[in-house]
Chain A
Amino acid sequence: MNLLEIRPSYEAALRGPRINPEIATRWLVAFLRDELIERRGIRRAVVGLSGGVDSAVTASLCARALGAENVYAFRLPYATSSPASLADAQLVVDALGINCRTIEITAAVDGYLQFEPDADARRRGNVMARTRMLVLFDQSAKLDALPIGTGNKTERLLGYFTWHADDTPPLNPLGDLFKTQVWELARFLGVPTPLIDKAPSADLEANQTDEGDLGITYARADAILDQLLLGYADAQLIERGFDSSDVALVRRRVDSTHWKRHLPTTAMLTNTAINEFYLRPVDF
């Protein structure tokens, strides 16, 4: 006798996190409406449009939640930014029919960096990211709007963002979605395909790509992160079929960047320390 044998499989874990984009869209549109209109009484959103898929998805969700006429996109190029990024951002503007303005940040960035000629690429990139956020917050004040964040869960977990820049906006619809899920959501929302198909890039240096910087593809990183967050030890992840050097890389990045996912550390001196003893929810 040769009976059929059925065994457990880790295939689904290796495939990485899944998303039903229709459910996610419904939920995120409701989130934006509740947080913007009902809680804050704000009907306009400001989004920094980089030409990448995250900001395109964010703008698309905002357009669904608030109406295209209430979404204000800003293209904020520096002198070395890729012209292709500007063009891709324009595709999103045209597809959604949202408002758009382009403000060069070169003069502002160089106004400071002229005093720091030795600043390396990392420092220069951080100055650009923080300058962009300065513009987005100021434009929000001007327009009676709220800046909306575009950071995804993968870059948050890997610490691949500028602290107190990309993570600063008070609302972030994509922060609990891995990059590979954002791509699926982008297809569902009809984001122009050049933005989905191209290699993601922070566009802070020429020929820079996220996956080159990180040393791992998003697909492999997301599958590991999805399991790692459930509490599995590295040995268990490797048993499930993940590559040991990938697991080590992801673990190292996550464990070295917990601080980037928190507010500044405040010295506690009293029994009324804010957020330690004095506890109020953000929407109170």
Chain B
Amino acid sequence: MEPTINARDAFDVAIVQVKPSKGRYAENLARIGEAFAQVVGDGPAPALVVLPEAATTGYFLEGAVYELARSARAFADDLARTWRAACGDRTVELCCGFYENDGGTYYNSALYLRVGGGAHEIVHVHRKMFLPTYGVFDEERFLSRGRRLQTFDTMLGRAAILICEDVWHAIMPTIAAIKGARFLIVPSAAPGRGIDGEAELGSVAHWREILRATACEHGLYVLYAGLTGFEGGKGMTGSSCVIDPRGNVQVQAPEIGACVVRGRIDLREADLARASLPLLGDLNAVLPDLLLDDELPLPTGRAQ
């Protein structure tokens, strides 16, 4: 399939907040297929459908990750087949988190896939760069970290994927924005904690602060897809949401339960947000001075 990059100004998106059964890849894909059918049947057909981190397996796998990881090609084929079985050859772009086996090296990845015209094409694979390995998390014990943060062109404009902790490091969305991302996709699996807040878990409130700050600092949309359901006592906090380029929450799912969240992205809004708060433009102007600071622990040249 020959991609034609001709970004639309506005398009509908759907986030499928899933609750996978641990390790049951085929069963979870079948449930995702049911959600796909709902997504195209019940409302405006979305141009982009986003799913969470580890959406087809569950997040905490420990050593079982080696049994359940797929190559990006195999996962793309499975996801495209699932879409077609549910929705026919309707054109769509899909983004979904999965555990990747790249010839015996394992990653926590997310795939961006274009489906339509009787074919499907991998547009991009992002490999999670910041692997939480502290407290309840143990990712780097089992997985390798990704080495590049790339933006990529979609039918809907330039995008970047940041998986879960990736987006907690402010430098990541900053680099994505500098590289031209108009919207960020954040597949996530966030175990909830913090029960002394006003109305929601402390970790949910913290996440939203980060996502809102990211969106309005860089004038871009953030599509957050959160896993839901309990995994061995650890409850994933769902709360999938769309945040607009001024930092407003356009729509947000509850913490508990599988659901479909629909939103609308209007890139003209992103333009206006950047015009009224030109922080990204300011950063582009100042960035060379910041990076030329010889006190920064940056690589200085070729390895000796």
Residues A20 and B230 in contact in the complex (CB < 8 Å), given A30-B235, A284-B23, A284-B61: no
Q: Is A118 an interface residue (CB 8 A)?
A: no
Minimum distance in angstroms from A167 CB to a CB of chain B: 14
Q: Is B81 an interface residue (CB 8 A)?
A: no
B interface, how many residues as a size bin? 20 to 34
| Choice from A23, A279, A281 contacting B232 with Cβ under 8 Å | A281
Minimum distance in angstroms from B205 CB to a CB of chain A: 11
Q: Is B60 an interface residue (CB 8 A)?
A: yes
Does A23 contact B63, Cβ atoms closer than 8 Å?
no
| Choice from B62, B64, B230 contacting A31 with Cβ under 8 Å | B230
Does B62 contact A281, Cβ atoms closer than 8 Å?
yes
Does B232 contact A282, Cβ atoms closer than 8 Å?
yes
Minimum distance in angstroms from B31 CB to a CB of chain A: 12
A-side interface residues, number (CB < 8 Å): 24
Q: Is A34 an interface residue (CB 8 A)?
A: yes
Using an 8 Å CB-CB cutoff, how does the interface string of B242-268 with A read, 1 for contact, 0 for none?
A: 000000000000011000000000000
Does B61 contact A281, Cβ atoms closer than 8 Å?
yes
Q: Is the interface of B mostly helix, strand, loop or mixed?
A: loop
Which A residues lie within 8 Å of B45 (CB)? none
**Quick one: closest A residue to B230, CB to CB?**
A34
Using an 8 Å CB-CB cutoff, how does the interface string of B217-235 with A read, 1 for contact, 0 for none?
A: 0000000000001111101
Does B62 contact A30, Cβ atoms closer than 8 Å?
no
Q: Is B292 an interface residue (CB 8 A)?
A: no
Which B residues lie within 8 Å of A284 (CB)? 22-23, 61-62, 64
Could you show 20 A-B contacts with beta carbons less than 8 Å apart? A19-B196, A20-B195, A20-B196, A23-B197, A26-B255, A27-B235, A27-B256, A30-B230, A34-B235, A38-B21, A38-B229, A39-B21, A280-B64, A281-B61, A281-B62, A281-B64, A281-B231, A281-B232, A283-B58, A283-B60
For the complex with contacts A35-B230, A280-B62, A283-B58, 9 further pairs of A-B residues with Cβ separation under 8 Å are A20-B197, A24-B195, A27-B192, A35-B233, A280-B63, A280-B64, A281-B22, A281-B62, A284-B22
* A binding-site residues for B, Cβ under 8 Å: 17-20, 22-24, 26-27, 30-31, 34-35, 38-39, 181, 277-284
